[in-house]
Chain A
Amino acid sequence: MDNLLVANQVSKTYGSYRALNNISIEVPRGSIYGLLGPNGAGKTTFIRIINQITMPDTGSVLLDGEPLQPNHIQHIGYLPEERGLYKSMKVGEQALYLAQLKGLSKAEAKKRLQHWFERLEIGDWWNKKIQELSKGMAQKIQFVVTVLHEPKLLIFDEPFSGFDPINANLIKDEILKLRDNGATVIFSTHRMESVEEMCDHITLIHESNKILDGKLIDIKREFRSNTYEVGLVTPNKQAVANELKQHFELSPATFKTINDELQYNIKVSDGGANDLLAYLVNKGQVTHFVEVIPSANDIFIQAVKNH
């Protein structure tokens, strides 16, 4: 079985507001799956359906080929966007409690917690109360609690909000490590840098509808515009520039360089890269020639705009 999680035609309506409209996704096992969309698109509703906090009006969700059942919660680790911990409880007690709610035995939970606390170098927090910790520290605890029961499916809703860059990096590495150990990760965010770095697959939800999904690399190919970033050193810049403008569709580009050169984004027809390069070589010295790959951010904005 390739997909750990499959959603079929899931719809959800709150009163007269349609939060999700026939959403179908397939989350491949062992992938990091980006669930993207602007604020209020329906991401959180969808995640809540997976977590059985609410149920869909129509459609079904399958985990490992089975329709969602109450005992599936122990195979899911969920870090909600709206998160917190019991403020007056001690870190250790709290983590043990939450782990036991997820079905771990006390002894097992303790063993794993000690391991995690050592790894994240937070062992001396065990007897501290949450209210004595900083927000970032509390977030670390929250992360540990989310992954402690070694779920098959991890769901992170805006996991990096509230972390400083160092801890965000640490958590990112931990997420990648979890993926390498076989977990499947659903990752909801509107921060595109992290999508770029981490996600293999993405789904873009906009105004309750899925407008895009697939492998990130395929989507990038789909959104490529055959544009090349070009740097050209030539003695008579003005003349070459005018000539280029007549022959090609171009726009100014800026990139870092040590040369005094012409910088352009040049769009060519499919497979026309070599022709462009040959043309440029004749005009001067080519110092820079790179295909412009659409960033997740560009794709996101373009897809939302086009919709």
Chain B
Amino acid sequence: MNHLSLIIKREYLTKVKNRAFIIMTFLSPLIMVALISLVGYLSQLNNDKVRTISVLDESGLFANQFEDDDDLKFETLSAVSLEEAKKNTQESEVYGLLYIPNNKNIDTLAKSITFYSEDSPTISVINDIERAIRKKANSLKLEENDFDADEIAALRVDVATHLETFDGEETSELSSILRLAFGGIAGYLLFMFIIIYGNMIMRSVIEEKTSRIIEVIISSVKPIKLLLGKIIGTSLAGITQFAVWVILLGALSLAVTLIFGIDTSAMQAEQIQAAMQAGGGDMEDYITRAYLEFEKLPIANLIIMFLLFFIGGYLLYASLYAAIGAAVDSETDTQQFMVPILIPLILAVYVGVFTVIEDPHGTVSQVFSFIPLTSPVVMLMRIPFGVPLWQQILSVVILFATFMGTVWFASKIYRVGILMYGKKASYKEIIKWLKY
């Protein structure tokens, strides 16, 4: 077996057999599911509480306008004064008192409604109340001006501009969002992976120095093979852990849903649905349209490029961590290097979100989609907008070449680090080392 595969195997097995690693692999999903379930459980508790609101409507215009739902119940008071109503409400279990004064001018009325409660009401309660009032007030106002509310609703025009490229490819606003999401997810995944496993690679590179085995190893293998083996081995261990997490999280959340009946994903779906409705769209319709848009994306191209850029981007950042590990003697010296590594990645996400969406083929977008530290995110965001294949390939090649360059550079630092006893290496010296 050659050196590289031996090293990869050792790095992988040492990581995977490490007790702390195993514990974290199985414990993290448990903790995550437990936390999400707890939050879900608590918010369900909250949701289960039905709030009752007393309504004192002196104008008489809002009778039957407030519909009870799961969270809110309305009871109408009549023939009581405001003072009495306030007193009664305060003494009873009722959440609050909505007071609508008697005023014939709708505009003035709409502004003089008051809600009394023990403490500040939640935003969702206020939204519910205001929505009901607004709806009624609007139709009252329309009636007052002799418009038919239903007719007006029917007359509302649904605007949907058709977008089409000169190649005949149809696009839409929605597809822009999809593209943004795609790049965003890629960037986020990369970010997470780097943060979780970057340190692990660095520690692994320092390992030989702290255990003082470095000279034995370095007299058997070349540093570049050692570093490459460490990066690949540790990454594979990371992928293993990540895969276990995904599987466990899936299984656990399924189990939790079945056993406790807490639907963690439903919470988000509800929120999305609420947002959709607020935006005036229909959920089902939206999903269908999203699916259609999704199908229009160059899926095969995207998946292949996603894999290439994800792997390349990860390896490049991993090699930077390896270079830090190569330059220092102990982990305590590494803190200062951590943040500068992540800055290009953050920059990439910013460029992606603010520039690529505005102008996917502008100079800034183009430049950043070739710079290796930012290309994994920026190019991935550009690809859905159509990037010539040669540009994609060029960017991938630059990315991987930079990765190899960084590893090579790191291995030089590594060798210098062992031999120089804290002295700085001259450029002439470094050039000499290249020969071996």
Give residues in A with beta carbon < 8 Å to B. 14-15, 17, 48, 51-55, 57, 70, 73, 76, 78-80, 82-89, 97-98, 100-102, 106, 142, 145-146
Contact = CB atoms under 8 A, between A and B. Distances in A.
Contacts of B165: none
Nearest to B225: A101
B388 to A, nearest CB: 42
A52 B214 CA distance: 14
5 contacts: A53-B419, A54-B419, A76-B219, A79-B216, A87-B211
Contacts of A48: 215, 419
Interface string B217-250: 1111110000000000000000000000000000
Contacts of B214: 82
Contacts of B219: 51-53, 73, 76, 78, 80
A85 B419 contact: no
Nearest to A146: B216
B216 A78 contact: yes
A102 B3 CA distance: 9
B33 interface: no
A38 B420 CA distance: 19
A98 B6 CA distance: 10
Contacts of A100: 1, 6
B76 to A, nearest CB: 73
Contact of A80 (B216, B221, B415): B216
B222 to A, nearest CB: 8
Nearest to A155: B219
Contacts of A52: 219, 436
A44 to B, nearest CB: 9
B415 A54 contact: yes
Instruction: Give the 6 A-B residue pairs with the shortest CB-CB distance, closest first.
Output: A84-B212, A80-B215, A101-B220, A51-B219, A84-B211, A84-B213
B213 A14 contact: no
A89 B435 contact: no
B10 interface: yes
Contacts of B215: 48, 53, 78, 80, 82-83
A105 to B, nearest CB: 8
B10 to A, nearest CB: 5
Nearest to A76: B219
B295 to A, nearest CB: 50
Contact of A101 (B6, B424, B429): B6
A15 B18 contact: no
B14 A55 contact: no
Contact of B423 (A14, A54, A85, A88): A14
Contacts of B218: 53
Contact of B217 (A54, A76, A101): A101
B423 A55 contact: no
Contacts of B216: 78-80, 83-85, 98, 142, 145-146
Contacts of B436: 52, 54-55
B383 to A, nearest CB: 42
A15 B211 contact: no
A142 B216 CA distance: 9
A98 B220 contact: yes
A33 B132 CA distance: 98
A23 B432 CA distance: 20
B426 interface: yes
Contacts of A82: 212, 214-215
Contacts of B6: 97, 100-101
Nearest to A79: B216
Interface in B6-30: 6, 10, 14, 18
A57 B429 CA distance: 9
B211 A85 contact: yes
B418 interface: yes
B99 to A, nearest CB: 71
B88 to A, nearest CB: 72
Given A14-B420, A82-B212, A100-B1, A88 B415 contact: no
A101 B14 contact: no
A73 B220 contact: yes
Nearest to B226: A101
B220 A102 contact: yes
Contacts of A142: 216
Given A55-B436, A83-B212, A15 B426 contact: yes
B419 A88 contact: no
Interface string B280-294: 000000000000000
